[in-house]
Structure 1
Amino acid sequence: MAQRRALVVRGGWEGHRPVEATELFLPFLEENGYAVRVEESTDVYADADAMAQTDLVVQCVTMSEISAAQLAGLGAAVVAGTGFTGWHGGIADSFRASSDYLHLVGGQFATHPGKEPCERHGGAEDNFLPHTVRITDLGREHPITAGIEDFDLVTEQYWVLHDDLVDVLATTTHPTRPWHPWHRPVTSPAIWTRLWGAGRIVVTTPGHSLDVLAHPSVRTVIERGMLWATRTVSAS
């Protein structure tokens, strides 16, 4: 069997520590038999030959920009069978100006509600809320999340805009609070998969900081997601 090839693409907003965050998962990929290539920009997406030989893309690029050629290359690779995965803003808050990227991924960060205004002090912790990630009925049977129980976090709780083509493995619910303008609880997907052509996409929204990525359930989901998303059809 040919060795599987993983491409780790990182960059964008430094607040999500893309280098340190991706380094956490390189040993897992190598231990599972992947040849790993690391790129510090999305330029590689426009390299058709490189993408055609890639079985899995792990992206950690928050915000930033992507060119039409780069996005076309990424999309074509996924359609042809390359897996695509990531966590938090590195995949769900990438390339805000690109509607085609949103279409590919199927869900996009909208906000992370904050604490009561009187409890805010101007730091990232203003948006750290206790919340629960709940595994769906589908998630309890899916290889990525089977055996994982609902779990609690105190970190950013992503409010995600999404479409019906995502298969939701876990959700999180944003409650109503007096200082917020919405009038009923809103449930967002927290972990989802998406089939796109011959490719598989996995998005895990928890992962703002290294301690969250080290949470046993979060890390397990991300690692299983890498394996599940990996190419299942032969590269041409």
Structure 2
Amino acid sequence: MSGAVRNLILTGGIGHPFADAAPALEEILAGAGVVSTVTDDIEGGLAALDQGGFDLLTVYALRWRMLGSEKYAPHRERWAFSLSPDGRGRLWNFVTGGGGLLGLHTALICFDDWPDWKDLLGGAWVWGRSAHPPRGPVTLVPTDRPHPLTAGLPPFTVTDEAYGDFDLAGDVRPLALVAPDGGRAWPALWARDAGLGRVVADTLGHDRASLEHPVHRQILTRAALWACRRPL
């Protein structure tokens, strides 16, 4: 394959500066020849996949049903979300049919009433169990498993949210770990096949500063290219 990678970034949600961070992600990936379309219209964005032309789908959003706590009440009308059957089919078919998927940070929390999302992404937030400490310094440490995404990269520390106690698919082999509050280490980066497609999940990336850390930038650009089977 040759030419620019066409990427669709699905974004938007509460508690995160997506309006600033998603354009930063777009700029970072542009440096690797990835041309992105950014939207917070999840269903409309996925419908655009049917028109062809996209190589990569990036989920950098916080869109779920917002059940339970009333602290979400002011946000439900705008941001509460359940992915439609058509949307589920479009997303699943795009990736398993050969497209790339990059799930970043809050992607683990998205689409909470769609069990197949965990099977596709490789991990999913579990309400009532999964958690993260308050945002603060966290260190991502590559494992000793050889992979193009992490080859030659050192550990790095950023101010971020370190997710833990989430569900993982049985075939996930972590490429990097974080230890929330110095406790149990949890996978923070993995890469896997899904049908004919490739998937990368990166649980860091709360804001622009995290995305723009020099080592994190390398991971993100490598992830996009690897997911699309392009030279790194």
Q: Same fold, TM exceeding 0.5?
A: yes
Measured on the aligned residues, the alpha-carbon RMSD in Å equals: 2.2
Gaps of 5+ in 1: 115-126, 177-184
1:109 deviation in Å?
3.1
Query: What is the identity, as a one-letter code, of the residue corresponding to 2:162?
Result: Q
8 Å contact from structure 1 (residues 87, 222) kept in 2? no
Give runs of aligned pairs for residues 1-236 of structure 1, distance below 5 A.
Answer: 1=2, 3-13=4-14, 15-43=15-43, 44-47=45-48, 49-50=50-51, 52-64=52-64, 65=81, 66-89=83-106, 91-110=107-126, 111-114=130-133, 127-138=134-145, 141-159=146-164, 160-174=166-180, 185-230=183-228
**Contact 2:22/2:38 (CA < 8 Å) preserved in 1?**
no
Matching residue of 1:124: none
Tell whether the 8 Å contact from 2:174 to 2:190 is kept in structure 1 after alignment. yes
CA 147–33 in structure 1, closer or farther in 2 if over 3 Å, else same: same
**Offset, 1:70:** 0.5
Aligned counterparts of 2:54 and 2:189: Cα–Cα separation in 1: 23
The CA distance in 2 between the partners of 1:48 and 1:222, in whole Å, is 22
- The structure with the largest strand share of the pair is 1
Write the letter of the residue equivalent to 2:148: P
Percent identity between matched residues is: 29
Tell me the secondary structure at the aligned position of residue 110 of structure 2: coil
CA contact (8 A) 1:9 1:41 kept: yes
SS in 1 for 2:175: strand
Alpha-carbon distance in 2 for matches of 1:9, 1:149: 29
- Deviation track 1:8-47 (CA, whole Å, cap 9, x = no partner) reads 222222x222232121132344343344322221123134
Residues 46, 72 of structure 1: 8 Å contact kept: no
Query: Runs of 4+ in structure 1 displaced over 6 angstroms?
Result: none
Q: Is the 8 A contact 2:102 2:199 kept in 1?
A: yes
Calculate the TM-score normalised by the size of structure 1: 0.78
2:77 corresponding residue in structure 1: none
